[in-house]
Chain A
Amino acid sequence: MARGTDGGDNHDRVAGRPRRLSPATRRSLITGLLFQLPWLLGFAGFLLYPAVATFYYSFTRYPLFKSPRWIGLDNYRNLFTDQFFIQYDSLDHFLQSAVGNTLYLTVIGVPAATAFAFIVAMLLNTNIKGIALWRTLCFLPAVMSPLVASILWVWIFNPQFGIVNAFLSFLHLPQPGWLNDPAWSKPTLILLNLWQVGFSMIIYLAALQGVPRELYEAVHIDGGGFWARLRYITIPLVSPVTLFNLITGVIASLQFFTQAYTIGGASGNPQSSLLFYVTYIYTSAFQNFDMGYASAMSWLLFVVIAIFTAVLLLGSRRWTYYER
């Protein structure tokens, strides 16, 4: 009988007054939920369920055509003795494993791309003739498909017929093997990321345009020059955007896939110098059909991304400045 009446009839024990929602509130609740329905279903079906299922699969042995069998922490344990996943014996070997390559790309590539985006945005934050056109041209590479951009990169950095080495040879400079050389392949890939940095650059540009002129004038009156303006005004005032670009950059970099797969294939040629974390998840799941192992890697990635984001957010308190 307790459930005989409407659930809204329950009484709040502490206050002792009815918790029934007023008809207007109830109507608004129903309206709100109805508008949200597609997204709430999507959240449950396309995000929550898969995330939980991946967690479960990560503790199982699950070849695609059989059913999952519980094996506890074995997948996680096996990861750390898997030479494609990680190698510890030397730095060279570390940089031929998925973890090593992904860390290299993140620790070196993301700060480089953020700094480059900032410098280009500073340059484009002027009023010279045709500035709208120059800004557009610098942003354009960002709308190019990463796959097409990667194919183009292979051609531009072709050791024999590429334009870069032709230019270097014209200047009588040494001509590296670029994407064919394990020592140069990752830096060349970082150059590709710098070329497609448009989104970060536009966000920086918007922030730079929001810096009040009076502040620059104040520095000028105090006798400060370009470096003083940069250090005491520009960098602190755009620091929230720097944090945003760093966080989104790190998240994207840890999930780097298309460019690496296009250039280096599933094994990350040359000499697994372009084997990245998500490439290895892809190979494990969809070529080796080892769903449990790939799930363990995915969850570990989730944890690593959370840690990186938390460290950046906590560390940023020292160097970000918010106007109140």
Chain B
Amino acid sequence: MAVRGTPAEQRAGMARAHRSIVARRRLKLAFTYLAVGVVVALFLIPFLWMIVTSLKSPNDLTAHPLSWLPQGGYLQNYPNALTIIPYMQYLGNTLLICVPNVVGTLLSCSLAAYSLACVRWPGRNLSFGLVLSTMMLPYPVTIIPLYLVYRHLGWIDLASGYLPLTVPAFFGAPFFIFLLRQFFASIPVELSEAAKVDGASELRIYAQIMLPLSRPALATTALLTFLYTYTDFLNPLIYISNPDRFTLSLGLLGYFSQHGASWGPLTAAAAMFTIPTAVIFLLAQRTFIQGIATSGLKG
């Protein structure tokens, strides 16, 4: 049909078709923006509501109908949050657990991963199989005997440290051994072989070649370990009963279950608790997302 007709008519027809394609593309783009906007809003609103609530005065909180924005700048909830629970002390306690966990996990897991990826030794495959098969072991299967052992050793509620919460980190975690092993295995063997020819020991190759080249994987391990320990709840709940030694999570839950209705200070404390993780994540997100994505895909 379109072939017939004068050249001018043909041109007009093509222009019309072109316009409709452009219009459809625009519509599709608008729809994409709208859908992404809605999804982002759904993810963001709980966060924003936490911040908004933390900036409301007690009267404002129970206002009816509800006020969507805080009335005036009420900042008192933040200093209050620091005193309703000994926030700084609990933050210190939490960091006392986090730092050894990050250091221990980095050390023990990178050593094990190095031997799985870079040293050829009989039994290596068997050992890798062990790592893979224990990755899925549910933690409830181990908590009771471990509790009994720590109790026997006198490690529970000890004044001198958080041994049950920190010592295990120095003995490897299957998931991070796996993650680091995958990364080490992707580094060209020529590098370590050249060093071997030059007479470098395995320990030296590990420390001076592999570790510096594996910064992204090590950073991911450190971040995930920190995040996990910082937000951990079950282990502190089992092993810490003295309120002076509480972590932030325990302190927050304690306050929440006693004064559930004081939402101003609670949301302020929640915001302060969340900000460090959000900031760390934003600073390192590229490494972080890569680490998670690759470990997941290869899992």
Contact = CB atoms under 8 A, between A and B. Distances in A.
B278 A140 contact: yes
Is the contact region of chain B dominated by helix, strand, or loop, or is it mixed? helix
B108 A42 contact: yes
Interface stretch (A1-9, A105-113, A195-203, A212-220): A195-203
B170 A38 contact: yes
> What interface size band does chain B fall in?
35 or more
Contacts of B293: 202-203, 205-206
B35 to A, nearest CB: 5
B256 A241 contact: no
A211 to B, nearest CB: 13
Nearest to A281: B140
Contacts of A36: 111-112, 115-116, 127
Nearest to A41: B171
A37 to B, nearest CB: 8
B257 to A, nearest CB: 7
Interface string B212-245: 0000000000000001001101100110000000
Contacts of A34: 115
A68 to B, nearest CB: 10
Interface string A226-245: 00000000000000110010
Interface string B25-55: 0000100110110011011111101100100
A28 B122 CA distance: 8
Contacts of A143: 227, 277-278, 281
A148 B141 contact: no
A301 B138 contact: yes
Contacts of A316: none
A120 interface: yes
A50 interface: yes
Interface in A120-152: 120, 123-124, 126, 128, 131, 134, 136-141, 143-149, 151-152
B208 interface: no
Given A161-B61, A258-B233, A120 B299 contact: no
B233 A255 contact: no
A278 interface: yes
Contacts of A51: 137, 141-142
A182 B161 CA distance: 41
Contacts of B32: 123, 126, 128
Given A31-B119, A155-B53, A155-B267, A128 B111 contact: no
B40 A138 contact: yes
B121 A33 contact: yes
B289 interface: yes
A40 B266 CA distance: 43
B249 interface: yes
A322 interface: no
A294 interface: yes
A145 B273 contact: yes
Given A35-B114, A152-B270, A25 B278 contact: no
B119 A285 contact: no
A140 B47 contact: yes
A70 interface: no
Contact of B266 (A35, A151, A156, A295): A151
B148 interface: yes
A43 B274 CA distance: 33
Given A134-B36, A138-B39, A143-B281, A148 B144 contact: no
Contacts of A53: 144-145, 148
Contacts of B116: 36
B122 A29 contact: yes
Nearest to B292: A202
Contacts, number: 256
B285 interface: yes
Taking residues whose C-beta sits less than 8 angstroms from the other chain, chain A's interface range is 35 or more
B143 interface: yes
A309 interface: yes
Nearest to B169: A42
A300 B131 CA distance: 22
Contact of A145 (B35, B230, B257): B230
B137 A47 contact: yes
B60 to A, nearest CB: 11
B2 interface: no
A298 interface: yes
A97 B136 CA distance: 25
Given A141-B43, A143-B281, A297-B140, 8 more contacts: A50-B143, A128-B29, A143-B227, A145-B231, A152-B49, A202-B296, A262-B233, A298-B143
Interface of B: 29, 32-33, 35-36, 39-40, 42-47, 49-50, 53, 61-62, 65-66, 107-109, 111-112, 114-116, 119-124, 127, 130-131, 134, 136-149, 168, 170-172, 177, 202, 206, 227, 230-231, 233-234, 237-238, 249, 252-253, 256-257, 260, 263, 266-267, 270, 273-274, 277-278, 281-282, 285, 289, 292-294, 296-297, 299
Interface of A: 21, 25, 28-29, 31-43, 45-47, 49-51, 53-54, 57, 120, 123-124, 126, 128, 131, 134, 136-141, 143-149, 151-156, 161, 163, 166, 195, 199, 202-203, 205-207, 240-241, 244, 248, 251, 254-255, 257-258, 261-262, 265, 278, 281-282, 285-286, 291, 294-295, 297-299, 301-302, 305, 309
17 contacts: A31-B119, A31-B121, A35-B115, A38-B170, A38-B172, A50-B142, A54-B141, A54-B142, A124-B36, A143-B278, A145-B274, A161-B66, A241-B296, A255-B140, A282-B237, A298-B140, A301-B141
